[in-house]
Amino acid sequence: MTELERNFQKFKKITREEFFIAEEIKKHVEIKDTDTILDVGCADGNLSKSLTKDSTNITFLDVDEFNFSPQEKFIRSSFEEVELGEKFDLILSSHVWGHFYRNNTFGFCFKKAHDLLKEGGKLIVVHNSNKDFTGKLIEFSKTLFDQIEFDVFLDEFLEGADYEESYFDVNLKAETFRELAELVQVLLVVPDAIYYSKIEEMTRFLEANLEKPEFAINQRLLVIKKKG
């Protein structure tokens, strides 16, 4: 296992991010047991599974391999390439738009998601807003690393759309600033060797800018209705 994978598991455990994302979605979207859901960039699928009683109503999609039970429908493909012969009541796309942005397929994926919705269907987007301290951290990280993979959503695609938005925080808390610096790798997705060669600089930046080794990661939920 790489340090990035280890830090990712630790990050998920500390922040309980999936729980807070699911709570926010449930507050804003009425999900019926019969709704069909496409989970784009599903990873282990825990987020969409926590939204509905019957996981056989979910089509799980990820470009990487993940373990699902034989009753569950998992498709290993990129969203860009997948051909789906059905439309969905809900499409969940959580922390995945940064990938489309870097693949230069953001617009293509936004239209594809819209086309894959049934009439009255909803596209659910979750992404880090990069407001507050996270934004400052990203700006500093750009000075340390040539390439970082932070979350992105392009608001220009919301023009003319029928949508609701809400913001919520997920707290990232460590015992020490060094441990926090390790967990921050997850927000930047920098490979181990490169990241750990700058870990002292990252630790000092966090120490200089935070009172305690913790900060809130502000996230936005967008619920975008299919246009009639």
Ligand X SMILES: C[S@@+](CC[C@H](N)C(=O)[O-])C[C@H]1O[C@@H](n2cnc3c(N)ncnc32)[C@H](O)[C@@H]1O
The residues of the shown chain that bind ligand X, judged by CB under 6 A, are: 18, 40-43, 47, 61-64, 78-80, 94-96, 99, 103
Q: What is the DSSP letter of 158?
A: G
Minimal distance in Å, beta carbon 137 to ligand X?
A: 17
Pairing, β 58-62 against β 37-40: parallel
Neighbours of 218 (CB within 10 A): 17
Which residues touch 42 (CB under 8 Å, ≥6 apart)? 48, 60, 61, 62, 66, 74, 92
* Dist CA 224 CA 205 (whole Å): 37
C-alpha separations of 81 from 61, 67, 75, 109 in Å: 11, 21, 11, 10
Q: Kindly give the pairing relationship between strand 73-76 and strand 37-40.
A: unpaired
Q: How far is CA 11 from CA 70, 159, 161, 176, 183, in A?
A: 29, 34, 33, 14, 6
How far is residue 44 from each of residues 32, 37, 168, 217, measured CA to CA in Å? 22, 15, 23, 22
Q: To the nearest whole angstrom, how small is the minimum distance from the Cβ of residue 95 to ligand X?
A: 4
Q: Any idea how long the chain is?
A: 228
Instruction: Give whichever of 49 and 99 is closer to ligand X, judged by the CB atom.
Output: 99
What does each C-alpha distance from 100 to 6, 57, 223 come to in angstroms? 24, 25, 18
